[in-house]
Amino acid sequence: MAALALEELGIVGCGGAGFPTHVKLAARDIDYFIVNGAECEPLLHKDKELLLHQTAPFLQGLKLALDLTRAKRAFIGVKKKYAKVLEHLRSAIDDPRIDLLPLGDFYPAGDEYELVYEASQRLIPYGGIPLNIGCVVANVETLLLVGRGQPMTTKVLTITGQVPRPVTVEVPIGLSVREALALAGLHDLTGLAIIDGGPMMGRLLGDLEREVVTKTCGGLIALPLAHPLIRKMSRSLKDHTRIARSACDQCTDCTELCPRFLLGYPIKPHKAMRTAQLSAANDQAWSIESVFCCECGLCSLFSCPEDLPPREMAVAAKKTHLARGVKLSDWKGAPSVHPMRSARRVSIDRLLKKIGLLDYDRKAPFTPVDLRVERVRLPLKMHIGVPVQPLVKPGDRVAAGQKIGAIPPQKLGAVLHASISGRVAEVTADAITIARE
């Protein structure tokens, strides 16, 4: 597939940030192409379900990606505990370039830095990207979309938590979150909060009348408003800062268990806590290494014995320093793995217990759905880069799969397509709405 054709499909990374896939697959002559099927966020199942139920187009996409990038070798990272998935893939793989990479059941096994190290024994340099050390990482669903070779108009997500029937489904992008939740049997949202993504790094959804399934949504988790995780996620930075100043005894557990610290990066969240305790603003040079925080949440949700918010303080410091122009590449030297790294991994079981989600750890089987969607709202920016430029106006008729948003010239972005057929109902500064006729 030519790079231009790939660009016209509007595919973005489905593992989180939404980096445009045509740009990622423009890399050439790489050593390792690494598929991220770790899915380390608790409760989510979409990657494992896709590897089982969409194996042929996924492998087709992977082989196309290997051809395009001229990769020497590929690894598919899947947790060892999913023995059935590994066995299934082993019998389906028919390309000598592709191997399996069985992973431990720890958090965050799917972090890009962790996965690259597990696959290649190489560490991403300070301020670098995997390509700097000959690696490209892509998500399972992203490669499935490449294999299908069609415009990105649907999204696969797990819907779970306090729902009658946890499921993994494929739905049109732009579907309302309310309609998506109904697919898991959840119709009455009274007393519930909804997380977009996983419990560790997801975001709490606000106005459910406006929220829609986007290109990067991997899961919807319903939890009671009174659940401790929801209460923590609902706190303002002001409240987090007040709590941070209350009781930190500088034990350094948050740092000693930090996955990026254990890989050898300079992050030290206890210093961000100290800065918050001792300074009026969390912007002192003392916590400048917070720019290396990947926001995984382990320190705040698991490591701290006092239930304090080191992540939130580290992220606040990171934003301050990045806004000042601090660059990760300014650091001298190179990362070096901590000798205790393998002994300090946090298993998903321990994590589930600590964050109070053990009772919600249920299967969410891939379930085909036959939906007649009446309306979709398609945000103009569901990817890293700039928003797309609308190519349609209110009243225009569009067909499912039709290109309705273009990448501005010379900019980073991902093409937008209509996810249902119908008439354009509204074009605003941030979204295009299509209503079925």
By the rule CB under 6 A, 264 interacts with ligand SF4: no
**Residue 262, interface with ligand SF4 (CB under 6 A)?**
no
Contact call for residue 269 and ligand SF4 (CB under 6 A): yes
Give the DSSP per-residue string, 32-57: EEEEE----STT--HHHHHHHHSHHH
289 φ/ψ angles, rounded to the nearest 5 degrees: -70, -5
Stretch that binds ligand SF4, among 84-92, 155-163, 292-300, 344-352 (CB under 6 A): 292-300
Q: Is 316 in the site for ligand SF4 (CB under 6 A)?
A: no
Does 322 help bind ligand SF4 (rule: CB under 6 A)?
no
Residue 32: closest CA among 147, 139, 137, 144: 137
- From residue 165 to residue 204, the character string flagging contacts with ligand SF4 as x (rule: CB under 6 A) and all else as - is ----------------------------------------
Distance CA 248, CA 189 (A): 37
Diameter of the chain measured on Cα atoms: 63
Interface with ligand SF4, residue 147, by CB under 6 A: no
Establish if 109 lies at the interface with ligand SF4 (CB under 6 A): no
Q: Is 95 in the site for ligand SF4 (CB under 6 A)?
A: no
155 binds ligand SF4 (CB under 6 A): no
Tell me the helix, strand and coil percentages in the chain, rounded to 5.
35, 20, 45
CA distance 106 to 226: 27
Side-chain-facing half-sphere of 302: CA atoms under 13 Å:
24
| Site for ligand SF4 contains 310 (CB under 6 A) | yes
Q: Quick check: 76 binds ligand SF4 (CB under 6 A)?
A: no
DSSP character string of 279-340? SSSS--GGGGGGGG-----HIIIII-TT---HHHHHHHHHHHHHHTT--GGGS-S-----TT
Binding-site string for ligand SF4 from residue 4 to residue 33, where x marks contact by CB under 6 A and - marks none: ------------------------------
| Site size with ligand SF4, rule: CB under 6 A | 27
Q: Is 296 in the site for ligand SF4 (CB under 6 A)?
A: yes
- Distance of closest approach, residue 286 Cβ to ligand SF4, in angstroms: 14
CB 319 to ligand SF4: min, Å: 13
Collapsed DSSP state (helix, strand, coil) of residue 114: helix
Strand (E) positions, 162-218? 167-172, 192-196, 203-204
Interface with ligand SF4 by CB under 6 A: which residues? 248-254, 258, 260, 267, 269-270, 273, 293-299, 303-304, 306, 308, 310-311, 314
